[in-house]
Chains A and B, each alone.
Chain A
Amino acid sequence: MSQPPYAADLGLQLCHDCGQVCRLSDRDCPRCDAVLHRRKPNSIARTWALLVAALIFYLPANLLPVMFTDLFGHGSENTILSGVIEFWKGGSWDIALLIFIASVIVPCMKFFVLALLLVTAQRRSRWAMRERARLYRFIETIGYWSMLDVLVVALVAALVQFRTLSTIEPRLGILFFGLVVVLTMLASMSFDPRLIWDAERQDAR
């Protein structure tokens, strides 16, 4: 093997908190006192659990209204998709596209990518490992972009309060959507990307 040896082969492990190289036999990091693990503990199960929870919450996030708009006594409730459609029909396709990407495409992509990573990691697949690692970095980066929707609703609801003239109030849907974003971020954080490369070795665990 031209590659450098695995840390486990040398009887070493990395402290996740301070990056100190420790012996495998150490239970706590001698420098920062953090608990030592060879990999993120229970990574795949945790990620699965959080992913499933996020998927469950994604349903009410899309079905329930996220915003209540009351304009001159004419109140209406909008879900995320109906808002996108309304913007699109109203001619502002750019805003519609932005909301659609931030609140539909990005979460869906995260679900898909995380599920893909989890399945391949569990099956110790050696397929496209480099690309998978790149995908993981990508969803880590774009993860919090989905919070855009939540921020918009929070901001608008705080600003547009003109009593009878017009009022905008958040609805339950946006809470679920925020939970979805937080859960997917937690899920991608709990996934250990080194598991992708563990497939290179039969007995690595």
Chain B
Amino acid sequence: MPDNSHTLPSPGAPEIRQRRARVSLVWLVPIAAALVGLSMVVQNWLSAGPQITVSFQTAEGLEANKTQVKYKNVVIGLVTGIRLSEDQTRVIATIELEQKAEPFARKDTQFWVVRPRIGASGVSGVDTLLSGAFIGADPGRSDEARREFVGLEAPPPVTFGVEGKHFTLHTEDLGSLGIGSPIYYRRIQVGQVVSYALAEDGKGVDVKIFVNAPYDSFVTSDTRFWNASGIDVSLGASGLRVDTQSLSSILAGGIAFQAPNYSPEAVPAEEYREFELHRNAQQAMAPYDGTPRFVRMRFDQTLRGLQVDAPVEFLGVPIGRVVSVNLDFDEQSKNFPVVVGAVIFPKRLGQAHQKLMAAYGGEDNEANTARLLEMLVERGLRAQARTGNLLTGQLYISLDFDRTAPAVAYDPNARPMTIPTIGGSFDKLQEQLQAIVDKLGNLPIDSMAENLNGSLGELRQTLRQVNADVLPQLQRTLERSEQTLQNVNQSLAEGSPQRQQLGDTLNEVQRAVRSVRVLSDYLNRNPESLLRGRGGDDTPASFKREATSRELNQESRP
């Protein structure tokens, strides 16, 4: 302790200098550490994108801090929290987007959960079977920023940046269409149904479709769309028809479109243009029908086989279809007429309609149609239910001129317009058949049958007599004749005396014939012997030697 004072002062100034320098150097380490930490914090803060919330119906497959948000399979964010909404109806996922993912926090951004899906139109999201679900996103085009979103339950069929055009189709009902149902152009898939919604007045459905580029240029102002869903089997007055588009459209439904072959003024349709969705190709490709007019017809006969949608034909041209078949009751005649309602398209008459309308002042309105109808009815136009198909008994309504029909009063101001009717052709046939049956019924079949009965009795009596008398006699006769034949057989048998005698007799006859021939030969040579008699030694040659009549002739020649 006392030595302290000796040693202390010796290392003075240099040590202090050294210490100061060392102090500053050592403290660089924590400063560097702090800088690194700070830079990381700053970078993290700078790279942090917007925080958004997306609500889903279920959190199935979602996990906080694990489920990623992807666009084109690039990670753009992470689910950092999942909680229930305040009313416990939905799940709210909090998502931290990356800084570059600013366009995904726009008003029209779409979010959906990608899970494995198996549908009629294919299988998707198989990779999520192993990796777990992720949230798919589609950036919006809007400039308006937004932080709260409602997630889609199914992936949107059209993703951002795909070129093409949207169109809207109006239809009566959706049929078997759904989101993602394919759009076909000449049976090539060119787009799909994006969404559908009920029309504002509830009378129809608006279907939004998307047609991919470059096929969207085939949608022109003249293009017709029709429903190509499923198998269209129709049994009408024109027979059985089966229409399909493709196997997948049978399952998932589909829409086809095409422009008429002759459409000179067609221009590519602008985006969001609205079209009518027809029921089938035939209807779609038919020329524009104009405004339909409703007409009514009263038939006094049964109309079995007349169905709604049955055609209405004017002189064989289909100009409309039946829309209702109702039974009515007539107080006065106490019978049940059938009231058929139909829509007709006067424009389908084509040039005839144009000319007729021109005659009536050119305006195509209901009053003019009524006046046109009045003129036609005066000239004998009548509606008639005719059989279109004998096999199925389908009926159709035919408008035809019948000069013999009795005149009817026509009120051109009555609405709906009423077309007078006459009985159907099949009814006429039935009447004729009835008349024939009636005549057949008037025949005196009873007395005819009685007479016939008497005659038959007599015939039976006669036959009995024949059986009793004639037949036994006939049998006896036959027996006798058989006996006779037996006798004849016996007499002609080999070795019988009769046969011997017969042979002898025949030999005799032969000899006699020969002598006659010798005589005739002799007389031929010596005809004088008939007068003088035979010469003394002049014996006939045949007696000298065997000679034929020819040899005899040769001898006589010299």
Contact = CB atoms under 8 A, between A and B. Distances in A.
Contacts of A72: 130-131
A24 B7 contact: yes
Interface in B1-54: 1, 3-4, 6-8, 10-11, 18-19, 22-23, 26-27, 29-30, 32-34, 36-37, 40
A42 B22 contact: yes
B66 interface: yes
Q: Is the interface of B mostly helix, strand, loop or mixed?
A: helix
B505 to A, nearest CB: 132
Interface stretch (A55-63, A116-124, A155-163): A55-63
Interface in A75-115: 75-76
B29 A49 contact: yes
Given A42-B19, A42-B22, A60-B40, A53 B32 contact: yes
Contacts of A52: 30, 33
A199 B239 CA distance: 117
B127 interface: yes
Interface in A29-56: 41-42, 45-46, 49-50, 52-54, 56
Contacts of A45: 22-23, 26-27
Contacts of A131: none
A53 B33 contact: yes
B27 A56 contact: no
Nearest to B8: A203
Contact of A11 (B1, B3, B34): B3
B7 A73 contact: no
B130 A50 contact: no
B29 A53 contact: yes
B127 A42 contact: no
Given A9-B4, A45-B27, A49-B29, A25 B130 contact: no
Contact of A74 (B18, B26, B132): B132
Given A56-B37, A60-B37, A76-B66, A46 B7 contact: no
Contacts of A59: 37
A152 interface: no
A57 B33 contact: yes
Nearest to B2: A9
B37 A73 contact: no
A74 B37 contact: no
Nearest to A23: B7
Contacts of A49: 26-27, 29-30
A36 B251 CA distance: 92
A73 B1 CA distance: 74
A76 B131 CA distance: 10
Contacts of B36: 56-57
B22 A41 contact: yes
Contacts of A56: 30, 33-34, 36-37
A52 B22 CA distance: 17
Given A46-B26, A56-B30, A25 B10 contact: yes
A203 B6 CA distance: 13
Interface string B128-169: 001110000000000000000000000000000000000000
Contacts of B6: 11
B273 to A, nearest CB: 44
Nearest to B68: A75
Contacts of A179: 33
Contacts of B130: 72-74
Given A53-B33, A56-B37, A60-B40, A9 B3 contact: yes
Given A42-B26, A57-B37, A73-B130, A9 B19 contact: no
A11 B5 CA distance: 11
A18 interface: no
A73 B131 contact: yes
A49 B127 CA distance: 51
Nearest to B21: A42
A46 B28 CA distance: 10
A151 interface: no
Interface string A1-29: 00000001111000000000000110000
Given A9-B1, A75-B131, 5 more contacts: A46-B22, A49-B26, A49-B29, A53-B30, A56-B36
Interface of B: 1, 3-4, 6-8, 10-11, 18-19, 22-23, 26-27, 29-30, 32-34, 36-37, 40, 66, 127, 130-132
10 contacts: A42-B26, A45-B26, A46-B26, A49-B26, A50-B29, A57-B37, A73-B131, A74-B130, A74-B132, A203-B8
